[in-house]
Amino acid sequence: MDTVALAKRRYTTKAYDASRRIPQATVDALLEQLRHSPSSVNSQPWHFIVADSAEGKARLAKSTEPDFAYNTAKILNASHVIVFAARTDMTDAHLQAVLEQEDQDGRFRDEQAKATGDQTRRFYTDLHRLDNKDLQHWMEKQVYLALGTALLGAAAYGLDATPIEGFDSKVMDAELGLRERGFTSVVVLALGYRSEDDFNAGLGKSRLPAQQVFTFL
């Protein structure tokens, strides 16, 4: 797979063909890739809400009105929309659940290795909670790692995609009951196939030249 070609080909879609649906097998594969996204110390501080019905997408679109109305059609016309949510706290229950899953998946050679893995994750959690005082920001950064995974995955499956920050997180959280579950919405990803009306499809991709963005030591 030529990942450079994928990166150059993908772009932010501005209009979707509402008549086209992503095959379920492709959706399943993309979600499995998303589930395997990297995160700092394998903390996985996220939850993903997937909407593929007209009713589900309409619920998500409420968060774009009125201030972000330019994003409403993207959500309504996309085949699938994913809300990326971050935890509002790194709870002991979540840390224990991650640890036990790692144990089930054979991540530890012995009990000492398991204890070390647990201590390391808790060290970084406390570092951000107590010393850096940026626990929420740290968890949201992990969510953006997952977004990057999903964007490249979408390109690999020939899908068009739009990462969306233009929405009201309070409205989204209330609509989905996220805060009561210990999460808050961070970013939305629309997925599907571009419409012929998508002006951005015909524009050249632009990035700063390599000599400006790389320093070699």
Instruction: Specify whether 74 is catalytic.
Output: yes
Decide: 189 and 88 in contact? Cβ < 8 Å.
no
Decide: 94 and 115 in contact? Cβ < 8 Å.
no
Decide: 84 and 173 in contact? Cβ < 8 Å.
no
Q: What distance in Å separates the CA atoms of residue 137 and residue 188, rounded to the nearest whole number?
A: 17
Beta bridge partners of 83: 49, 188
Please tell me which residue in 14, 57, 180, 205 is annotated as part of the active site.
14
Please tell me which residue in 165, 170, 196, 205 is annotated as part of the active site.
165
Decide: helix, strand or coil at residue 9: helix
Between the alpha carbon of residue 103 and those of residues 36, 38, 67, 115, 139, the distances in Å are: 16, 18, 46, 11, 23
Hey, which bits of the chain come out as E strands? 46-51, 80-87, 160-164, 183-192
Catalytic site residues?
14, 74, 165
